[in-house]
Amino acid sequence: MNEYKIDIHGVKCSIVDSGKKKSDQTILAIHGRLDNAATFFTLWPLMPDYRFIAIDLPGHGKSEHLGAGGYFNYLDIIDTIYVAIQKLNLSHVILLGHSMGGAYCALFASIFPELVSHVISIEALGPLVYSPEKMLNNIKMSIVERNKVKRKNTFMNLEHAISTRAKASHLPNHLMKNIVKRGTLSNEQQQIVWSTDKRVKLPMLYDLNEQQVMQFLAEISCPLLYIEGDKGMFSNDQMITRNQMNKRMHTISDVTKIIIQGGHYLHLENPDKVAQESVNWLKLNSLCLN
């Protein structure tokens, strides 16, 4: 495993790279909100035939924060993925994303179909959308909160940070260890603090509406594998209705849906099954070398 940084619009972003493999195919993995490249550390050894590259998005993991005045929004992250692909000299990549990372992958594939061969999206089928009233409230909250100086949460030790994050994610501690280790640092008082840019937690200033999301999904020309946890975010109608999820499915021209036992982080809870289904699906699409 190699680790290095690339410059993306003045922000040094950390890359974890398995190096060249037997297959010419490269998987570029995009993590979700508040996570980092370590979310894929359990998954990628189970897909050994592929070059596996995971990025810490700006403000996450070991990557630098955005500059003063920066915001996090979907289109800027699309730009981040584009620059990363160019600087890594990749072509026809397999995009693998979890949660919001999966939403980024779907949007990217619709905008730059010539750069993407396949998309594997875990617990996401496009971005979440909100009512116009909620969007207005989100914009106000984002502007007000980003102008407040907030003290970082501190933890007595790494184990304390791991247990806190694991509890919030409804996971056992050991499954969150890699993500927390990569997403924390020690301050001058030798306390553990999150390394994540606090602006990541704010609502996005520029959300998409459902009509826009559907248009993006309709433009995806490559095959897409959607992996959903049977106890994940979409197992009920709280985040998005099942009817709307079905409409999104029917909008994509070539989509396969698989339900796997697990919650929102099913790739941590059930990595063998996620890897197996992903590799089998890629083989069906003639991407694996024998």
Q: Which CATH number is 42's domain given?
A: 3.40.50.1820
Is residue 53 in a domain?
yes
Res 149: pLDDT: 59
In the prediction, which pLDDT does 136 show?
79
Q: pTM here?
A: 0.93
Please check the confidence at residue 288 and state whether its pLDDT lies above 60: no
- The 10 Å CB-count burial string (b at 16+, else e) for 46-78 is bbebbbbbbbbbbbbbbbbbbeeebebebebbb
| Res 14 pLDDT > 80 | yes
Look at residue 157 and tell me if it is in a domain.
no
User: Which structural domain range is residue 15 located in?
Assistant: 2-129+208-284
Residue 140 maps to a domain: no
For residue 98, give every residue at least 6 positions away whose Cβ sits within 8 Å of its Cβ, in sequence order, or none: 30, 31, 32, 35, 39, 40, 122, 123, 124, 265, 267
Whether 66 is covered by a domain: the verdict is yes
Reported as half-sphere exposure (CB side, CA atoms, 13 A), residue 138 has a value of: 16
Q: What percent of the chain has pLDDT over 70?
A: 96
**Cβ neighbours of residue 130 closer than 8 Å, sequence gap 6 or more:** 138, 207
Classify residue 219: in a domain, yes or no.
yes
Residue 191: inside a domain:
no
Asked if residue 124 is part of any domain, the answer here is yes
pLDDT at 177: 97
Examine residue 227 and state whether it is found in any structural domain, yes or no: yes
Q: Residue range 36-42: average pLDDT?
A: 97
Instruction: Check pLDDT > 50 for residue 289.
Output: no
Mean pLDDT lowest among 67-71, 148-152, 157-161: 148-152
- pLDDT at res. 151: 65
pLDDT at 150: 65
Q: What is the pLDDT of residues 59-104, one digit of tens each?
A: 999 999 988 777 788 888 999 999 999 999 998 999 999 999 999 9
126-149: pLDDT as tens digits = 998 877 777 778 778 777 877 775
Give the chain's domain count: 1
